[in-house]
Amino acid sequence: MYKDVFYFHPDGPSKISFEVRPNKTNYYVTDVINFTCISNGNPQPTFRWKFNSMDIMENRKYTFLNKNATVAFTLQYLNESGNYQCNVKNYVNEKYMMKNDSVTLTVKELNIIPEPIATESCFRDTCSFIERCYESDDTAVCS
């Protein structure tokens, strides 16, 4: 009679792969960001996130997905530029095994150039003090 034998091979977290979505050069206020930390181990490692060395907690701003392997949020302020770190750990042979990796994110302000305002004439509609009115093709434009 044969018995199935399963061996438990404990293994600390593997090297971390760090994904940033969207993957682009510049990040702006209002962008939605997803950081994903990929690491395997036996037992399955746990994930924790930090921003500039401070723990990130799930709240209205931050959402954790995939058993905390992913953190998603919307950039709201320029001061969200900084170091985002993923910490991975599991318990192997009566001790904690840990790894971490990080990415530095720079948030820029989105520069929106307003469209010129067109009216019938410069006389009927004055521009603001920082704009100049000019007429072209029977239309007044503030710019």
Least confident of 2-16, 24-38, 68-82: 2-16
pLDDT per residue as tens digits for the range 83-94: 999 999 988 888
pLDDT per residue as tens digits for the range 5-28: 555 556 767 788 889 999 998 999
pLDDT for 98 equals: 87
3-state secondary structure 38-74: ECCCECCCEEEEEECCEECCCCCCCEEECCCCEEEEE
Task: Report the C-alpha gap between 9 and 48 in whole angstroms.
Answer: 24
Predicted confidence (pLDDT) at residue 130 exceeds the cutoff of 70: no
The conformational region for residue 93 under phi > 0 = left, psi -120 to 50 = alpha, else beta, is left
Q: pTM of the prediction?
A: 0.69
pLDDT for 69 equals: 94
Q: Give me the percent of the chain exceeding a pLDDT of 90.
A: 45
Instruction: Determine the average pLDDT of the residues in 100-108.
Output: 93
pLDDT per residue as tens digits for the range 41-61: 888 899 999 999 999 999 989
Instruction: Determine the average pLDDT of the residues in 70-74.
Output: 96
CB atoms inside a 10 Å sphere around CB 75: 18
Reference 47, options 69, 79, 17, 25; nearest CA is 69
Q: 30, 74 in Cβ contact below 8 A? A: yes
pLDDT for 33 equals: 95
Question: Dihedrals φ, ψ of 45, to 5°?
Answer: -70, 160
Q: 21, 36 in Cβ contact below 8 A? A: yes
Looking at per-residue pLDDT, the higher value among 59 and 3 belongs to 59
CB atoms inside a 10 Å sphere around CB 34: 14
Predicted confidence (pLDDT) at residue 96 exceeds the cutoff of 90: no
Looking at per-residue pLDDT, the higher value among 49 and 2 belongs to 49
